[in-house]
Amino acid sequence: MLPCLDLEFSFNIVNTMIQDLAHQIISWWLQDINGPKTSLAFSFTLCLISWCTWVLIKRSRNGSPPLPPGPRGLPLIGSLPFLESDLHRYFLKLAQTYGPIIKVRLGSKLCIILSSSSIAKEALKDHDTIFANHYVPIAMSELTYGGIEIVFSPYGPNWRTMRKVCAREMMSSKVLDSYYGLRRLEVRQMVRDVRTLAGTTVNIGELAFQLALNVVMNMIWGGTLDGEGRRKVGLEFQRVINEAVELVSEPNLSDFFPILSRFDVQGVVGRMKKLTSWMDKIFESVIDQRLKMDREGGKESKDFLQLLLQLKEEGDTKTPLTLTNIKAIFVDLVIAGTDTTSTTIEWAMAEMLQNPEIMRKVQEELEQVVGMDQMVEESHVPKLPYLDAVIKEALRLHPPLVFLVPRYPSQTCTISGYTVPKGTQIIINAWAIHRDPEAWDNPLEFCPERFYNSTSKWDYNGNDFRYLPFGSGRRICVGLPLAERMLTYELASLLHSFDWRLPDDAKLDLSEKFALILKKATPLIAIPTPRLANPELYS
């Protein structure tokens, strides 16, 4: 009977038995750490793993496509002891050994890593619906109200409702155009702040993060909090976001061994709950204040909060928008709209400081398009193709989300001739795809000309699977329209208004720090010098 078992069914049986037995082992271990029961249970576990291997081998001999190749790993814990801190580089090394689709078992989790554009296309386009769900780590689930927002919500009616709300009501060109005054106000304030720091050192990443946070918060609830209140909330949000991103990036045993999740052995969920509790109080306070303003007949505010509350009142009988949904959407906007944007700005500035001739070309383009007697406006952005190429190249060489957002298939399928079981975590190594020598000439070189002089229509829409900084398919980043505007407008303003140089005797470090968002290992510190002759332009 065993050789005839369905592969997916076999996985489910074995996984359930392992989890049940692991639960017993943990219970026994807590009662008697050094007792004979633990050794006996461990022996049973090894036998069970051997049986699992035998089942799968027998099944593969009966005609089903095999699992992808990959390192053997150790019993029970798989390849966990062999992981390296720079996970994207480690997976690339494995791909160079085993091929562009590999399997790695991490604890009880089977992960399949895709490291070529052609195989990524199979998953994200040819099987888009099957791979339409995002894998949700336990810490991220806690942060996003159980994964009910846009990024991690399961593919289905609720996700489609929120996606429609965000794409049509918040990220459409018409809506974003109407918020230009808010973005312009914050960018001009940033330029004024940098002007006061002329000749001294500026942390580029912090500067870009604060601007992105101010813009996002202004668009979310700018009409609810006054200037001082918004500033205080913004500073605290910066701390909480940084801690939350670090916590989600921390390897969590509960993700590798779901049976351990009830114990929270590393305290990850407990620490995340403290952060989410703070954010929840802020969200509820702002929402209550807005509802009070509406009841008292105050002036109508033009921001996302008002829009979402109106949509909630209008209601959708099938998939209603709740206050919890609104707070979860805020989490998406605040986190996705700040760290990824500021990280890209920092990498682009670092590469231009490493290649001064590229910075000079950008500034020459700005002089021709904008001139030196006015400030940059968003209307100038479409006329800056070389700056656009610089940003595209920064996103190619340093994609903020190196693995995009991991997926999991809703049913067992075949990719590139290999079986991909239902529920497997699918990691798309965009960092490796963007550096593939078969797809890119001189892939490790920062060369904006590859986009500037290209006859191909390079964009961020994920249609060319060699270039996926924002993902592809139906789960492509919903905030892409805002990110496009902010990246170019902010970088143009910094380079048009100021010359930049490294501090004396400083050495530029372009090494990376792997995490949820791929940042520079060391913050970029640079010194601005005003370029515009008329000082009134800065005031």
β-sheet with 525-530: strand ranges across: 202-203, 525-530, 498-501
Q: Where are the domains of the chain?
A: 1-64, 157-538
Confidence of residue 433 (pLDDT cuts 50, 70, 90): very high
Q: Residues 280-334: pLDDT tens digits?
A: 998 998 899 888 888 887 666 678 898 899 888 887 767 788 999 999 999 999 8
Confidence of residue 8 (pLDDT cuts 50, 70, 90): very low
The pLDDT of residue 29 is 43
The pLDDT of residue 14 is 47
Average pLDDT over residues 501-515: 94
pLDDT at 217 over 90: no
Average pLDDT over residues 201-230: 83
Q: Which two tokens stand for residue 370?
A: 């904008």
Q: Which two tokens stand for residue 26?
A: 């943990």
How far from 298 is each of 227, 293, 294, 295, 524, CA to CA, in Å?
Answer: 18, 5, 6, 8, 44
pLDDT at 479 over 90: yes
pLDDT at 42 over 60: no
Q: What residue spans of 63-109 are helical by DSSP H?
A: 87-98
The pLDDT of residue 315 is 77
β-sheet with 133-134: strand ranges across: 101-106, 109-114, 425-428, 407-408, 133-134
pLDDT at 353 over 90: yes
Average pLDDT over residues 512-537: 95
Burial class (CB in 10 A: 0-12, 13-18, 19+), 273: middle
Q: Which two tokens stand for residue 35?
A: 């007792």
Average pLDDT over residues 252-266: 95
The pLDDT of residue 6 is 42
Q: Which helix (H) or strand (E) holds 242?
A: helix 227-249
pLDDT at 269 over 80: yes
Residues 157-538, CATH architecture: Orthogonal Bundle (1.10)
Beta carbons within 10 angstroms of residue 318's beta carbon: 8
The pLDDT of residue 13 is 46
Q: Residues 114-156: pLDDT tens digits?
A: 999 999 999 999 999 999 999 999 999 999 999 999 999 999 9
Confidence of residue 192 (pLDDT cuts 50, 70, 90): very high
Of 286, 370, 358, 374, which is closest to residue 327 (Cα–Cα)?
286
pLDDT at 11 over 50: no
Higher-scoring residue by pLDDT: 300, 200: 200
The pLDDT of residue 51 is 55
Q: Residues 151-180: pLDDT tens digits?
A: 999 999 989 988 988 998 889 999 999 999
How far is it, in rounded angstroms, from Cα 157 to Cα 152? 13
Q: Sign of the CA dihedral 295, 300, 304, 307?
A: positive
The pLDDT of residue 32 is 47
Confidence of residue 252 (pLDDT cuts 50, 70, 90): very high
Q: Which helix (H) or strand (E) holds 128?
A: none
Global pTM reads 0.88
The pLDDT of residue 224 is 62
What mean pLDDT is reported for the chain? 88
Q: Residues 94-119: pLDDT tens digits?
A: 999 999 999 999 999 999 999 999 99
Average pLDDT over residues 177-201: 94
